[in-house]
Amino acid sequence: MEENNFKSAVEALIFASDKPITLEQLKKVLGVTDNTIVNKIIDELKADYETQGRGIRVVDVAGGFQMNTNTAFAPFLKKLFKNRYNERLSRQALESLAIIAYKQPLTKAEIELLRNVNVDGVMKSLLDKNLIRICGRKKIPGRPFVFGTTREFLEYFGLNSVKDLPKIEEFTALAVKKEEESDIEPIIEPINEEPVTAPLAESLIQVDPEVKQ
Residue with more model confidence, 74 or 82: 74
pTM strictly above 0.75: no
pLDDT band at 209 (very low <50, low <70, confident <90, very high): very low
Residue 197 has pLDDT above 60, yes or no: no
Is 91-206 in the same CATH topology as 3-73? yes
Q: How do residues 178-194 score in pLDDT, each as one tens digit?
A: 555 544 333 333 333 33
* Beta-carbon count within 10 A of 64 CB: 21
Q: How do residues 150-186 score in pLDDT, each as one tens digit?
A: 998 998 888 888 888 887 666 656 665 655 554 433 3
> Could you tell me which of 28, 31, 26 has the C-alpha nearest to residue 15?
26
Q: What is the mean pLDDT of residues 16-28?
A: 92
Residues 8, 213: Cα–Cα separation, whole Å: 35
Architecture of domain 3-73: Orthogonal Bundle (1.10)
Tell me which fold the domain 91-206 belongs to: Arc Repressor Mutant, subunit A (1.10.10)
Q: What is the domain partition of the chain in residue ranges?
A: 3-73, 91-206
* Beta-carbon count within 10 A of 168 CB: 18
* Residue-level pLDDT at 192: 36
> Could you tell me which of 14, 28, 25, 5 has the C-alpha nearest to residue 59?
14
Residue with more model confidence, 89 or 70: 70
